[in-house]
Each structure stands twice: as C-alpha cells, then as structure tokens.
Structure 1
Amino acid sequence: MFELLSAIFVVWKDSSLLEPNRLHDLGDEFKSLPLWKQAEPRFLWNSHLLEPLIENKLDQYLLPVIQGSFQSIHAEVGSEKVNVTLIARRCTRRIGTRMWRRGADPDGYAANFVESEQIMQSKEFTASYVQARFFTQLVRGSMPFLWEQIVDLTYKPSFDVVRVDEAPRVLERHFHDLQKKYGAVVAVDLVNTHGGEGRLYERYAKSIEPILSEDIRFVHFDFHQICGHIHFERLSQLYDQIEDYIKKHKYFLVNSKGEKIEVQTGTVRTNCVDCLDRTNVTQSMVGRKILESQLQQIGVLGGNNTVSDYPAFDANYKVLWANHGDAISTQYSGTPALKGDFVRYGKRTTEGILNDLWNALARYYLNNFADGTKQDAMDLLQGHYISSVSRDMPTPSKGGLLENYASFRLAFALLLAAMMFMIMSLRQARNDVFHLVPSLLWAGFCLGITRYVKANGRMFTNRPRFYQSRH
C-alpha cells in the first residue's frame, strides 16, 4: 500500500489538470468550488476514501489526489527562456498491476490509461498538448477490448482474447468516450504482427474497422520489426503517417492576454502491449515534434530549426521525457521503463541495455511473486472489493486445498533438498553401487516437482485474493 501511495500527487487548484481547452473557459464560479469538486472523477484516486467526508459535508478537509507524474524544465533557446512541463494522470476506472489488469472492461475503460499533457511557456505565450497513453493507454492505454495475460511462471505468458464477439462493442464504447473528451482520435498501435502480439493486433484492427472515420483513424506501426533494438530514429516513418492529422487538429495556445490563438481538437492514443516502453519512446517523439511546431509559431525557433540545434535544451528535454516514462512504468510494472536510454540520451547504450535486462528480470519476479498482493491493495483503496472488510458480506471464494497452499518457495526448497540428497547418494555410490537406487529416486523426485510446478504454474504465483472477475 505504501508503495502505491508514494507515487500519488496533490491536485492543485490552478493547474492545467483538466483538458486545457475547457479549463481556459471555466469561470470564477467553478474555481470557487471545493477542490474535490474541481477534480475530474476519473483521475481522483482517493474518491472512495472521501465518500464518508463528502456525505458529512466536510469540504474544507477534503484534499483530492492523483497518481501520475510531474516534471518541469527551464532552459534558454537562443535569447528566449522556455519552460516545459510534463504532467501524467493515471485513470482509476481500470487500475492495477501489469499482468493483472490488461485490456478493457465491458464499459470500455482501458487498463493503464494515462493522460499526458505537455505545457510550454515562452515569450508570454502558453501552449499545451494532451496525449492519452493507455496500459493500453498523448493518451496511452491498453488495447480496448477484452483480453488477458495471466502469469504462470513462464517469462512471457500467452495472450488470450476473452469473449471475442464483444470486442467491437467494447472498443466502440471506448472510442466514443475518447471522442467526447478529446475530439478526434488517431490510434497508434505499436505491437508486433506475429505471435501472440500479432493475434492482438488482428483483433484490434478488425474490431476498430467498423468505426473508422474522418475523426477516428487507426495506424499500425510494427515497432520491433521497423526499429529493432537500436534504430529508433526510424520512428520518423510513423510521424510521416500522422503528421497531417497532428497539423490539422493543432494544439492549445494562448497569448499573454489570455486570448486563444489555437485550440486542440484531437489527440494521439498510443499503445503497445504494456503501454510503457515502446509507447514512451513514441510519445516523446510526438511531443518533440509538437514542441518544435509551437516554438516555431511564436518565433523562438526559426522555420528550419529544431530542438536538437540547442544541445543544452535538447538534453534537458530528453531527461524530462525519460523521467516521465520511468514514473509511469514504475507505477504499473514496478520498474523504470525499458529503452529509456534512447529517450534520455538519444541513442542506445551498453549501460542502458544492461539496465533493460535487469529491469526485465525484476518485472518477471514482481509479476509472478508480488503483484497479486499489490493488486488487492489497489482494489481495496478504490473500493472495487469491500467484502473482505465487511462483517455482513461473504469472504472471497476459496480454491481447492492444493491451490490454497501451493507455494513456489516450498517447491523450490523441496527441489533443493532433493538435489542435495541425490548428490550425497551419488557420492556414496562410489563405494557402494546400491546407493545408485536412492540417487535415482531423488532424481525422479526432482523431475516430478519440476514438471508439476511447470504444469501448474498459475497455482504457484502470487495471485490477487480479492480477484473475482477480470472483466
């Protein structure tokens, strides 16, 4: 629980935490409301905890909080000062950990939905661009249909699409909700076209096809096939496909008098499988292009100049997005983002590759042996499961005896003990051949434990105990 709360940030009254277009038009009447009424419900992480205080009208004691990230840099571009702020907000509608919250629920809410907002201030101008990024979910979030990937001790558990016939309906509800909040949407899908990811891509592409229109566009970009592990500069191929959309739907821009010069009328929704690593690299590229366009419009950059022409500003901007990605990744997966060295330094490094290996192993451990308990903590915090703390309601359903007491630690200890006895018997067999019999028995015992754990991997993982239904 404390790990979860450590990443929660306070919502402040004058921040740009509502969509910038709407926030600009809100009057003094709205700003005089209690803070919890100003906060957007889908990002209010302590809404369940506030309910008793709201019922007793204790508005002055209520402090709304969000989970996300806040990063800011101050730099000079030529003779002009430029401030860039990056804000992320995680949605509460389908919260959870990396493996235990995938896809979308029947209402169309996607896992790991994160709204990222980049704010630029320079020469008395303020500009903003909102991206939604999903866990499929800028905006970022998970692929918005019913699918799962349940841990079973394998490094990469298989993907399963659930209730296939409902995928178009769930996806339509998801994009209808996005349109109401952000306007037009271009959905950028970064998954592979083969294997398990390929099946997800095919379902996504097939389900979204009926709702494609001028305001909903789908762009698939096989990140690993095109960029590999080092050629991330090839993301320019993706930008070429969405450049016309971004220019058409603009960004939010006001002058020193508060007059609107531009209005953002659409957003980019990005996803990979986790909506962490490939997604963050891609979103940082889109954010950079938008920033350059804004700085060119207000005259800070010349028409042919880019952020890369100012090394100090460029370095700070890369760190800004790298820290942004690490924060979101830590909240969802428990580790910093992979491929973060490219975002941070603009190239892959040996240290970055070694860090990716370490973080991948850490994710494996957390997914299999820690995230079930963390998922329960999140569900209790949000009020998604209250049976366990109510005397008048039944406790969570229990599995069989073996399932309840299956322990990877116990199985591993038995395996080590059996191997030790097998080795001892083999040593004794040098003097007495009959000791080969117990050594073979212990070897069979080792093999039996290994095969049983492998065949029943899900039983030996750390599962949510309050987890009655995934969808």
Structure 2
Amino acid sequence: MTLPFRDINVHVAADSYTFTSPSSPNAPTLIIDRPTGDVRLSEAAPFPKRVSRVSSISGILGFIRLRLDKYAIVITKAQPMGRLKGHMVYKVISTDFLPMRERQIRDPDEDQFLSLLRTYIMKGPMYFSYGVDLTNSFQRQASADTSSPLWMRADDRFFWNRFVQSDLINFRRMGNRSHPGSQPGVDPYILPIVWGTLEIRPTTFKNTPLTIVLITRKARHRAGTRYFTRGIDEEGHAANYNETEQIVVLNDTGRGLGGYAGSSDMQSGKYGAEGAEMQVLSYVQTRGSVPVYWAEINALKYTPKLQVRGIETALPAAKKHFDEQIRIYGDNYLVNLVNQKGREKRMKDAYEQMVKMLVSSPSEKVKGDVITDEKFHVIEPSSSRQEFDRLHYVYFDFHHETKGLQMHRAMLLVEQLQDALIAQQYFRGVDMPANGGLETRNHQTSVVRTNCMDSLDRTNVVQSMLARWTLDRMFTDLGLLQRGETFATADPAFEFLFRNLWADNADTVSNSYAGTGAMKTDLTRTGKRTKAGTFADGNIAVTRYYLNNFRDGPRQDAFDLFLGAYEPATANIGSSLVFADRRPILIQSIPYVFAFSLFFIFVSLFTRRAPDSAVWTIRLFMLFWFVVAGWSFSFIINNGMLFVNWPKLNPRPWATEGYQDAITKVRKDALLGPFVARHERGLSTARYLNAEEGKKRIE
C-alpha cells in the first residue's frame, strides 16, 4: 500500500522545483522544470547546484495554470485535528503559490486570479490524512482495494483537489516523452483533500470511552454559491451536494493528538482495554439541490425570480444523478422539505413530476391534519421492475408543521420514515490489522437524500434528527442503552457535544454555499426554537441578501477556477482584462450618486446653522438631494440586474439575458439613453484595443 509522504522538502532553484522526502531517501525525486512546468522523476536526488532556499511542506495541493504562468500550490502549514482509526487527520492552515516564471511586470487578470484563490479557496475548510481515505465512507473503504495508492481509492466526487492534481495524475498514468508509460513513483506525492466538516471528538458515554466523528464531504462537481448554482447539470451533478457521515469508534487507543498509527498496541492487534477489538459504526446521509433544471435570478429583490425549465428536458440528467445515487447507496429515500404554497410550490411540483417520470406505476398517498391538508405526500413505485423503482419520495410540510416555534413536530417526519430507517441499518465494521482493513459485520442498505430550497437550514435540522435516531439505535445495539432509552436523557454531557457537533456542521455547509452560518441552529444546539434564535435568523437573512447580491460573484469565480470549470490558459485570448467592469460609466456611477446624495442630506440635517441664516436655501438644497437620492434608488431597484455582482469567468445564461434586457431598457430611458448608447459605441473599440494589448502582453 502506497501512502502519501508525511514530510516533503522543496528545493527552489532558478531552473526547477525539486521535491524530496527526508524520511524516504531511496524514493524517487519529483522535479518540476522551470519555466515549462514539465513533471519528471529522478531515481537519484539531483539537487540543483544553485538552490535559493529549501522549505519543509506538508504536501502538494496541486498545480494550476493561469493566464500567464503555472503555479505549484503547496501546503506550508497543517493543524492536527485528531486521530481517525489511529491515523492523524490535518486541516490545511496555510498554502503558498510557487510560480514557474519570475514575472517582471504585474498583470491585472493574473493578480486577480491569484487573489480569488487565496481569498476564497485557500482559506476554506480543507482536510487531509496521510493514512486514511477521507473521501470515502467507512462502508466503501471496507470493500476497497487497500493495495492501491491512497489517491486511486479516493471517491472522485469528493476528491476536492482532483483538477489541480491533474498534472501529477496524468504523469502517473502516461508519463511523458522522457519517461513514457506508467510512473508509480509519483504516487506518494499525490495527496487527496476534502472540503467540508471534519470533527473528531474523543469522549465518553456513560463512562464508556469512544470517539464520535462527523464528516461532511462537499462534492467538487457543480460546486458554487447559493443563487449562481442551482439544480443539476447535464451530467447529473446536483448543486450543493454533500455526503455527511456520523461515525462512532470504540476501543481506539489512538484517539488523542499524541501517539502514532504504528504503535505496538496496534501492530499486535490489541485495542483498548483488555485487548478489545476496535469497532467502527457509521451512518451516511446525503443532501443536494432539487434535481431539475432551475435557477433563482438575482435582481436586488429580496425574493429572486424563480425559473424552472421543462421537466422533460431534465429527465436524462436526473437519470444520471439517481443512477449514481442508487449504484453507490442502494435505495434512496427522497425527503423534500420545500413549502407547498407560494413560490416554492413550483419546486415541489417539479420534483414530484420528475419522480413520477422515473418510477414505474407510481402510487401516491397524501396525509393531512388540522394544520395542513398535505402534511405528507409519498410517491412509491407499485413494483420493482426497473432500477429507478428504488426511489421513494417523501414530502414533509416542514414550515407549516413547525410554525409558531413548534419545532418538536419535525419529529413527525422521523416517525413517518421509521420503517425505512429500521430496514436501512447502519455500517458496522471490526478492525482487522492482519488483513489491513475493516471486516464488515453490518451494512447500511439505503440512504436518505434530503433537500429544501437551499438544502441548508431545514435540511440541517432533519439530518441531525435522523442522525440522533440512528445513534440511539447504535448505542442500544451495543448495550449502552436500554430499549426505549435515549442518549439525551442518559448522558446530558454527551447530548451537549452531539448538538454542537451538528450545529457546527450546519454552519460550515452553509458558509460554503450561502456565505453565512445556518439558520435554526438554536434548535440544533438547544433542542428548542427561541426568540433569540429567530432574531439571529433575521440577521442571517439580511446578511445573505447582501452577500448573495454583491459579494458572491468573485466567490463563484474562485470555485470555477480551482475546480476546473474555467481554465484561463484555454479561454479566449481576446478577453483581456476579464475582470474589468464593462458597464457604461453612467450605470457604474449611479450607486455613488445615491451615496453622495445621502451624505449631503445628513450634512444638511446635522450641520449647525447661523441664527440669521436663511432657512429656505437649506430646504431647497435638501429637497434637491432628496429628489436625486430618490431617483437613484428607484433606478437601482428597477434595474437591479445591472448592479448584481455576477460571476465573470462563467457567465450564467439567465444573467446574460437579463443584463441585455435591462441595458436595452436603459437605452430607451429619456434621460440616460443617449449617453449610454454613446458610451457603448466607444466601448467596442476599447475592447478591441484591450484584446490586442493582451495578446502582445502574453506573447
């Protein structure tokens, strides 16, 4: 089994970057030639004659080619987070970009590309381990070929740095001109990273030592921000798709930050007190956007316009999505938590229509109560003739059932799913050091896929409830709880830990997608809905509105750049100054006019006046600026598409269409129309000159 190097030194020279492992002096040396960025291996250690510096790094995150240069991204600092089955897990704390060329001039686009990566990606929650596969659940690990290198066993969906590792992976598979064929010597330099939540908490439950772990893996396909990435793509990848695994490890002597995975206790096969076997119990859930083609279009309105394309057109993509879901997890219980009234009803109807098209002979059941006519809506296949008959749709009217801070009523959904949860089981494995892996004693046979509109707030609450129900079942099966007993009443300290683990997980997933922490975490942390929590949710809602309209464009660009959805080196060379604001100058100036108007109004209101000064002049002055402020604000709100901070690397089709409609409307404006048209005529020439300048600069 080939594992990544735990220690790497990088020797920086004018003609190369040379990577070596001090603890493996006989291992091949990885060399990156400068300025070409070509990859090669050397059996010896041909250190450059003129080394400018030698640095110790924790690993190679990958290589990325931007517009003018290629960069090696290295992990310069990693923080230990705890041990998982004896192996230390680390969080990426700091990184560095090593350029292939020494640039003499600054390029605005290149600098902006680097700034996006450093600001939004390198500061994200990224985790790795040298000894355990974090991308796969323990159930999938139990059936994996442990003789393969760690990166080959990684789940492609959650191998977050897969794109930037392409250079090393391609070299490993095919080599190059000087080294044709497979190159297994590069395997220890390829380090898989996951993005999401990773909490490892050694604790006790009723005086029984154990480790509780919570891992959420964010999928690298169709990753992005809240309003710029919705639904599914043509390959069946769902937006905001995450797999969450709750793990309990018993009899793990390597639980703390000390010790080493190869200790004598582990090598002898004796774990914990009296040589008890190490056991791993895990439960997996998934979440993801409603699997149809849909979008919410920002236009500075608090409630964006909802756009749903034809359900039939999305059917092939939905088939790809659920084919993968069924192949990996088995039966899928599709829990839909959107509202059944108002704008969200369109999403409910679209999802149900899609499920009816997928399953054969769909059978529907609707259950109501005094609160709502459709508390539950269940769609089940009448037979099991085809693959998609393993889909089981369950709609729950979350908002209406929990209205008035009655959040305990959300447990009605767990009761509805109880038979499915009992049949679903959970994974249980016993560590067998002699065999190099886990021996499976119990399988999880299905998965619950939960969604709301964002697959964040309501989804977090429901997932934590399902995890709680399953954890009670695990402890009962282990003999730690009596039948009918719950860990919440049996051990309040453990209950507190559990609640905060899931609340922190909710915040991490929400920050990645929406830019803020999650709503309704007061319920997860305290077990009840509070007025303070409702007020905090209001604050989050306002913050999300600001971020999603004015800050998410660059964040989406950063995801697209790092994950390979946009490649600067292959993009149109004529699009020089990619990040330049192409709006007419008058359009750009209106928010500043509005701000200046407010400034002058406040100055007029709060500036002291001389006793004998004329009042009417001040009133006329204020009236003028009130009119200007009112007109500016009205223009911004009525033409919101022109003021949203859109992604610039991969423009969204609906954004392009909406922008063109808005600019056409402005051209017809009696006041601004002639000036806007005149500016645009000059802009086309400016674009041409910028393109020519960009070509010369790159050459």
Same fold (TM over 0.5): yes
> Could you tell me which of 545, 559, 567 is aligned with 1:386?
567
Q: Who is 1:17 aligned against? A: 135
| Change in CA separation of 1:240 and 1:357 when aligned onto 2, cut-off 3 Å | same
In structure 2, give the amino acid aligned to 1:247.
I
Q: Describe the shift of the 1:36–1:254 C-alpha distance in structure 2 as closer, same or farther (beyond 3 A).
A: closer
Q: Deviations over 1:103-128 (max 9, x none)?
A: 11122211110000111123643211
Separation in 1 of the partners of 2:581 and 2:530? 47
Q: What SS does the corresponding residue of 2:280 show, helix, strand or coil?
A: strand
Look up the match of 1:271.
Answer: 451
CA shift in 2, pair 1:432/1:327, >3 Å: closer
User: Partner of 1:200 in structure 2?
Assistant: 347
Q: Distance in 2 between matches of 1:125 and 1:434?
A: 82
Query: Is 2:427 aligned against 1:252?
Result: yes
Q: Which residue matches 1:348?
A: 529
Q: Which moved more, 1:396-405 or 1:216-225?
A: 396-405
Q: Give the match for residue 143 of structure 1.
A: 290
> Among residues 283, 292, 306, which one is paired with 1:159 in the alignment?
306
Is 1:261–2:441 an aligned residue pair?
yes
Contact 1:87 1:116 in 2 (8 A): yes
Structure 2 distance, partners of 1:302, 1:330, is 38
Counterpart in 2 of 1:331? Answer: 512
Structure 2 letter corresponding to 1:185:
N
Tell me how far apart the structure 1 counterparts of residues 650 and 628 of structure 2 sit (CA, whole Å): 33
Alignment CA distance shift 1:19-1:433 (3 Å)? closer
Match of 1:185 in 2: 332
CA shift in 2, pair 1:182/1:229, >3 Å: farther
> More deviation in 287-296 or 167-176?
167-176
Q: Does the 8 Å contact 2:335/2:395 carry over to 1?
A: yes
Deviations 1:82-134, CA, capped at 9 Å, x for gaps: 32111010001101111111111122211110000111123643211111xxx
Residue 390 of structure 1 deviates from its aligned partner by 5.2
Cα distance in 2, alignment partners of residues 207 and 26 from structure 1: 34
Alpha-carbon separation, structure 2, partners of 1:49 and 1:452: 43
* Residue number among 77, 83, 94 corresponding to 2:211 in the alignment: 83
Q: 1:3 is matched with which residue?
A: 120
Cα distance change, pair 407–9 in 1 and its aligned pair in 2 (3 A):
farther
1:28 is displaced (CA, Å) by 3.4
CA contact (8 A) 1:110 1:144 kept: yes
Q: Aligned ranges for residues 202-221 of structure 1 at < 5 Å?
A: 202-212=349-359, 213=381, 214-221=389-396
Kept in 1: contact 2:130–2:191 (CA 8 A): no
Query: SS at 1:95's partner residue?
Result: coil
Gaps of 5+ in 2: 1-116, 173-185, 252-277, 360-380, 382-388, 433-437, 655-699
Match of 1:319 in 2: 500
After the TM superposition, which of the residue ranges 85-94 and 412-421 deviates more from structure 2? 412-421
Partners of 2:408 and 2:488 lie apart in 1 by: 13
Where 1:368 maps in the other structure, the secondary structure is helix
Determine the structure 2 residue equivalent to 1:363: 544
Give, as a single letter, the amino acid of the residue that structure 2 aligns with 1:448. W
Secondary structure in 2 matching 1:156: coil
8 Å contact kept, 1:108–1:173: yes
Deviation, structure 1 residue 220: 0.7
2:413 alignment partner, one of 238, 248, 255? 238
Given the alignment, which residue of 27, 41, 44 partners 2:145?
27
| CA spacing shift, 1:353–1:439, aligned 2, 3 Å | closer
Shift of residue 195 of structure 1?
Answer: 1.3
Does the 8 Å CA contact 1:72/1:320 hold for their aligned counterparts? no
SS at match of 1:48: coil
The 1-side partners of 2:602 and 2:429 are apart by 72
The one-letter code of the counterpart of 1:125 is: Q
* Equivalent residue in structure 2 for 1:303, among 483, 491, 510: 483
Residue equivalent to 1:172: 319
Correspondence for 1:463 = 646
- The one-letter amino acid of 1:464's match is P
Task: Flag the 1:246–1:403 CA change in 2: closer, same or farther, 3 A.
Answer: farther
Indicate the SS of the match to 1:406.
Answer: helix
1:136 corresponding residue in structure 2: none
What SS does the aligned partner of 1:287 have? helix
- Contact 2:506–2:517 (CA<8 Å) still a contact in 1? yes
2:160 to 45, 48, 63: 45
Q: Which amino acid aligns with 1:28?
A: T
Pick which of 106-115 and 401-410 moved more: 401-410
Evaluate the alpha carbon distance shift between residue 240 and residue 461 of structure 1 in structure 2; reply closer, same or farther with a 3 A threshold. Answer: same
TM-score by length of 1: 0.89
The alpha-carbon distance between structure 1 residues 9 and 229, as it changes in their structure 2 partners (threshold 3 A), is farther
Residue identity in the other structure for 1:316: L
Query: How many Å separate the matches in 2 of 1:407 and 1:437?
Result: 24
Name the stretch that deviates more: 42-51 or 9-18: 9-18
Distance 2:358 2:573 in 1: 45
**What is the alpha-carbon distance in structure 1 between the residues aligned to residue 494 and residue 591 of structure 2?**
50
The equivalent residue for 2:240 is 112
* Structure 2 residue 246 is matched with structure 1 residue 128: no
Whether the 8 Å contact between 1:117 and 1:130 is mirrored in structure 2 is yes
Q: For residues 155 and 604 of structure 2, what CA distance do their matches in structure 1 show?
A: 62
C-alpha change, 1:232 and 1:407, in structure 2 (3 Å) is farther
- 2:457 and 2:520 in contact (8 A); partners too: yes
Task: Give the drift of 1:38.
Answer: 2.5
Distance 1:111 1:352, change over 3 A: same
Q: Partner of 2:229 in structure 1?
A: 101
Answer whether contact 2:450 2:463 (CA < 8 A) is retained. Answer: yes
Deviates more, 1:46-55 or 1:297-306: 46-55
Instruction: From the CA coordinates, give the structure whose radius of gyration is larger.
Output: 2
Distance 1:147 1:254 in 2: 41
Q: Classify the secondary structure of the residue corresponding to 2:302.
A: coil
Alpha-carbon distance between aligned partners in 1 of 2:139 and 2:575, rounded to the nearest angstrom:
46
How many angstroms does 1:388 deviate by?
Answer: 7.1
TM (norm. structure 2) is 0.61
Q: Say if 1:418 and 1:442, in contact at 8 Å, map to a contact too.
A: yes
Distance 1:441 1:103 in 2: 47
Q: Report Cα offsets for 1:160-210 as digits up to 9, x if no partner.
A: 113444133332322122111111100101111111111111111111112
- Residues 1:402 and 2:549 aligned together: no
Displacement after TM superposition at 1:150 (Å):
2.2
Conservation of the 8 A alpha-carbon contact between 2:145 and 2:153? no
| Distance (Å, rounded) in 1 between the aligned partners of 2:504 and 2:406 | 21
Equivalent residues of 1:108, 1:145 under 8 A apart = no
Residues 4 and 331, structure 1, Cα contact 8 Å, conserved in 2: no
C-alpha distance in structure 2 between counterparts of 1:408 and 1:63, whole Å: 48
Deviates more, 1:395-404 or 1:164-173: 395-404
Distance 1:414 1:388, change over 3 A: farther
> Structure 1 counterpart of 2:630, which letter?
L
Question: Residue 230 of structure 1 aligns to a residue in which SS?
Answer: coil
For 2:439 and 2:581, the matched residues in 1 are separated by 62
Structure 2 CA distance, aligned partners of 1:436 and 1:164?
Answer: 58
Q: Relative to structure 2, which stretch is displaced further, 408-417 or 184-193?
A: 408-417
Work out the CA distance in 2 between the residues paired with 1:403 and 1:206.
Answer: 46
SS at match of 2:200: strand
**CA deviation map 1:222-252 (0-9, x unaligned):** 1111012522211221011111111112111
Native 8 Å contact 1:403 1:459 kept in 2:
no
Deviation at 1:359, TM superposition (A): 2.0
Within the candidate set 387, 390, 400, 1:225 is matched to: 400
The answer (yes or no) to whether the contact 1:372–1:463 under 8 Å persists in 2 is yes
How far off its partner does 1:440 sit? 5.2
Distance 1:273 1:370 in 2: 20
